[in-house]
Amino acid sequence: MTAESSARKVHAKLERLIIRDVAARELERGCRAAVSEGARVQFAYSWFPDRASGSAAELSRSDAPLSEEAELRYIVHTAAGSPPEVWRCRPGTLSPPSLAAIAPLVSWYEREMTDLCGLHFEGQPQPEPLVLLPGAHTARPPLKPGPAGALTYTPEPFSLPQIAGRAHRDVQVLPFGPIRADVLESAQFTFFYLGEAILHYQPHLFFKYRGMEKRFEGVAPELGIVLAERVSAVGSVAHALAYSHALEAAAQCEVPARAEWLRVLLGELERLYNHLHYLGHLCHTTTLKVGEAEGKFLEELAKQANAEATGSRFLRSLICPGGIRREPNLASLARSLARLQGEFAPYAERLERSTTHLDRLMTTGVLDKKLAFDLGATGPIERASGVDRDPRRDQPYSVYQDLPLRVAVREGGDAHARQQVRIAEALNSLELIRSALEGLPAGPIRALCRPAPFSEGLGWAESPRGSVYYAVHLDAAGRLARVKIKSPSFSNWRVFPYTVHDSNMMDYAINEASFGLTIAGCAR
Amino acid sequence: MPFWTFYGLKQGKASTSWPADGNDGQAGLLGMPRFDPAKCQDGCRACADACLPGAITLAQDRTAGEARLDVDYGRCVVCQMCVEACPAGAFTASSDWAFGVRRREDLLWGRAMDSAEGQALRGQIRRIFGRSLHVRHVDAGSCNGCESELQALNNPFYNLHRLGVFFTPSPRFADLLLVTGPITYAMRGPLEEAYRAMPEPRFVMALGACAVSGGTNGGGHACGNGLEGLLPVDVYVPGCPPNPAAIIHALLMLLTRMPQRVRGGQITAEAERA
């Protein structure tokens, strides 16, 4: 691979986004048409454009003060391989229609906009709050520009389904959390069960809502990376990448080839240590003790290798808009990689031969392909259900086109398929890291990235858990006006409960581990 | 499956013998930047502007009448932006980890060199807990970095059990409440309930920049600024996140099995020699 051809491919990323204006009354028809052609609405958000940012003609269309008027954005993948399309809708004083009935994955994004931007969606099937806990009230919608105002909170119980019928007295309700056994992230789960059988399951995932998107407001773009790396630590690289890609798109900045290669290296190192942790933890739930110890030991070796090469066990403080901040220690990396490579393959092969372990995984937590697609499952979860999508190949970034990337897809949709996808990806990551080390071109690692006032950009990256998107909008001073984060765990938590209903208690922990979810990424 | 037994035996012992001796596992890790105010240029505030969590702030020195830099390692997230921004090398990258301290002031640079420890408390801890400790962890809104490192404590390399420290599911059996995250509005209640459920004597550890000071993520409409003013904190462990060896050091420091290594925002001379 020559430096010239990779530079040309890198350049393809700078193609401008397609933004389509859609009137509020056209939204439903447009969405229905797109979905019937196999499109997927990837995510949606809203923001409050600055008065000065629109063109004069746009500004004169409404009498309402613009800073109070929300603008909706829908990011739509029309077909695999093409860049996403952005639908822009200014509903004005109208309540926009809910698209939840047409594209069910939009439902959570609409409820999030209701909680945080104060928008009301006509016909939303689940109008109760999603992000804010029952009893939490804000003086004004937190994501309106300016001070968010105080949040008052008097805890109230969650609204739970009513149980009817003759056997309703036998149904037990178990609220579990938000502080859970072991060292785990906080979240509350309510189980409705009969003996071993789970009838219904309701997760409450936003105890950890920190208001991360609001924290970006007014921050200089080059410092925002520090926040992006702290949305979900175990996805630091993917978040830093997606954030940087968004700003580079806004600034039309071309990243030096060497930095793009190093970014592949960092992205795959992140996938590797996460997948090793995943396998160790999965073994913990199936009580395969040596498998757990070995998986977690290999994860530790990988994290120590990260620290030796980059100064951070989480590969933080390296990626920046415009490239990479400093050269990693590649000599140490090659050494640690050889050891991991030697140990991982036999470990993975043993896992696939452990009948007691496989017994617990097979047919556990089956997610079918249609559900995975319609509800927006992402990353290894959708690929284990037969949905063949991966932004590294379909919406390429960095230099993945020049490397032996193999997208792992399985049809089973059960916990075992999810393990197999992760194993295949970890093996491929080792290969990608080696290739990136070999093909790494010489040259500068950082370019100036200064987005213009009022510019905007969309960026993405494939994290170990699935796709991360950042949408950024800059204000008059070139600072961040609005940053929207689409995290993989938000997407995968949306679909996870559908694999729990009608399953049994004994399999729950295994099923949850097989999804490999985070709460921090979901709640933000 | 007997092959796992043979495999496990063949792999041998993976645990480090640190802190007795041996490898702490943190080679190459970047720690808190070192600060040398003698190198500062007059009127320069590049580091303060580059510090997102506000660990470096400009304060007016009343006695000298000139601006002075205040450095609070309790807010530092180790992002190294100050090292890049400083034109004079007053901040330099170092491998000084985020060590735990007993007094919040010990994370403020140069302010608490004269701090004295409560010897009585030390004696009491040793008497009551001997050499063992049961820990209840509460995530109050972390980014999951601290959890990732806490989970690492039980991997074969650190093997925390060998040191007599255990995580317990119920606060009723816990000696130590270990808190991560800036304390979100929704986790404040459950956190206080967990504390109330613990038998006395009980201890509290603030783990990570978020729990110590709010870090980058604290404040705002949905978060507090860490444990300050909420619960009495016995040990502060700064860092973003603190590495597993730093967490082990802080746990052993609580049990008075290891000495405090940082005073006045600097690693003490005795600790450097050790």
Q: Do B154 and A133 touch (CB under 8 A)?
A: no
User: What are B190-196's contacts with CB under 8 Å, separation 24+?
Assistant: B190/A178, B190/A179, B190/A186, B190/A207, B190/B138, B191/A179, B191/B138, B191/B140, B191/B230, B191/B231, B192/B230, B192/B231, B194/A179, B194/B136, B194/B138, B195/B171, B195/B231
Q: Do A300 and B181 touch (CB under 8 A)?
A: no
Q: In what order do the strands lie in the sheet with A188-194?
A: A172-176, A188-194, A197-204
Give the pLDDT confidence score for residue A242 in this predicted structure: 96
The neighbour count for residue A423, using CB atoms within 10 Å, is 21
Among A242, A306, A272, A284, smallest CA distance to A483 is for A242
Task: Measure CA A392 to chain center.
Answer: 14
List of chain A residues whose C-beta atoms are within 8 Å of the C-beta of residue B11: 294, 297
Q: Is A305 exposed, middle or buried (0-12, 13-18, 19+ CB in 10 A)?
A: buried
Do the beta carbons of residue B46 and residue B85 sit within 8 Å? yes
Distances in Å between the Cα of B132 and the Cα atoms of A432, B17, B207 are 45, 18, 19
Task: Compare CB distances from B156 to A207, A229, A296 and report the shortest one's residue.
Answer: A296
Could you tell me which residues come within 8 angstroms of residue A459 by beta carbon, excluding any fewer than 6 positions away?
A: A241, A242, A243, A244, A245, A246, A247, A248, A249, A469, A470, A472
Give the pLDDT confidence score for residue A11 in this predicted structure: 41
Could you tell me which residues come within 8 angstroms of residue A135 by beta carbon, excluding any fewer than 6 positions away?
A: A153, A154, A155, A156
Residue type, B205: M
B67: closest CA of chain A, how far (Å): 24
Do the beta carbons of residue B231 and residue B204 sit within 8 Å? yes
Element (H, E) at B247: helix B244-254
The neighbour count for residue A20, using CB atoms within 10 Å, is 12
Give the pLDDT confidence score for residue B162 in this predicted structure: 85
Q: Which residues of chain A have pLDDT under 70?
A: 1-16, 51-68, 79-82
Give the C-alpha separation, A263 to B273, whole Å: 38
3-class SS at B216? coil
Which tokens in the block code for residue A318?
């390296």
Average pLDDT across chain A, whole number: 89
Determine the residue of chain B that is closest to A227 in CA distance: B216
B175: closest CA of chain A, how far (Å): 15
Give the C-alpha separation, B100 to B207, whole Å: 9
Give the C-alpha separation, A361 to A286, whole Å: 8
Which tokens in the block code for residue B137?
């962890």
Give the C-alpha separation, B150 to B32, whole Å: 20
Give the C-alpha separation, A476 to A478, whole Å: 6
DSSP category for residue A364 = S
Give the C-alpha separation, B203 to B200, whole Å: 8
Q: Which residues of chain B have pLDDT under 70?
A: 60-66, 98, 108-131, 257-259, 261-265, 267-274
Give the C-alpha separation, A228 to A518, whole Å: 16
Give the C-alpha separation, B210 to B195, whole Å: 18
- Side-chain-side CA neighbours of A278 within 13 Å: the count stands at 29
Give the C-alpha separation, A57 to A138, whole Å: 34
Determine the residue of chain B that is closest to A518 in CA distance: B144
Give the C-alpha separation, A255 to A273, whole Å: 26
Beta pairing class for A172-176 and A188-194? antiparallel
Do the beta carbons of residue B80 and residue A317 sit within 8 Å? yes
Domains of chain B as residue ranges with CATH? 119-259 (3.40.50.12280)
List of chain B residues whose C-beta atoms are within 8 Å of the C-beta of residue A310: 28
Give the pLDDT confidence score for residue A460 in this predicted structure: 93
Which tokens in the block code for residue A195?
């003996």
Which tokens in the block code for residue A180?
């859970």
Give the C-alpha separation, A384 to A369, whole Å: 9
* DSSP one-letter string for A264-321: HHHHHHHHHHHHHHHHHHHHHHTT-HHHHHHHHHHHHHHHHHHHHHHS-TT--S-EET
- Side-chain-side CA neighbours of A15 within 13 Å: the count stands at 13
Q: Do A186 and B139 touch (CB under 8 A)?
A: yes
Give the pLDDT confidence score for residue A68 in this predicted structure: 66
B157: closest CA of chain A, how far (Å): 6
Do the beta carbons of residue A439 and residue A402 sit within 8 Å? yes
Q: Is A371 exposed, middle or buried (0-12, 13-18, 19+ CB in 10 A)?
A: middle
DSSP category for residue B72 = B
The neighbour count for residue A394, using CB atoms within 10 Å, is 17
- Window A:287-326, CB contacts with B under 8 Å: 288-291, 293-294, 296-297, 299-301, 303-304, 307-314, 316-317, 325
Give the C-alpha separation, B53 to B35, whole Å: 17
The neighbour count for residue A216, using CB atoms within 10 Å, is 23
Task: Compare CB distances from A230 to B4, B143, B148 and report the shortest one's residue.
Answer: B143
Kindly report the pTM of this predicted structure.
0.90
Among B102, B104, B47, smallest CA distance to B79 is for B47
The neighbour count for residue A350, using CB atoms within 10 Å, is 18
List of chain A residues whose C-beta atoms are within 8 Å of the C-beta of residue B224: none
DSSP category for residue A16 = P
- Window A:88-147, CB contacts with B under 8 Å: 133, 136, 138, 142
Q: Do A185 and B3 touch (CB under 8 A)?
A: no
Give the C-alpha separation, A318 to A264, whole Å: 13
Among A237, A182, A228, A133, smallest CA distance to B189 is for A133
ipTM of the complex: 0.89
- Window A:48-87, CB contacts with B under 8 Å: none
Q: What is the dihedral sign for C-alpha A390, A393, A399, A401?
A: positive
Give the C-alpha separation, A197 to A285, whole Å: 18
Q: Do B187 and A207 touch (CB under 8 A)?
A: yes
B167: closest CA of chain A, how far (Å): 7
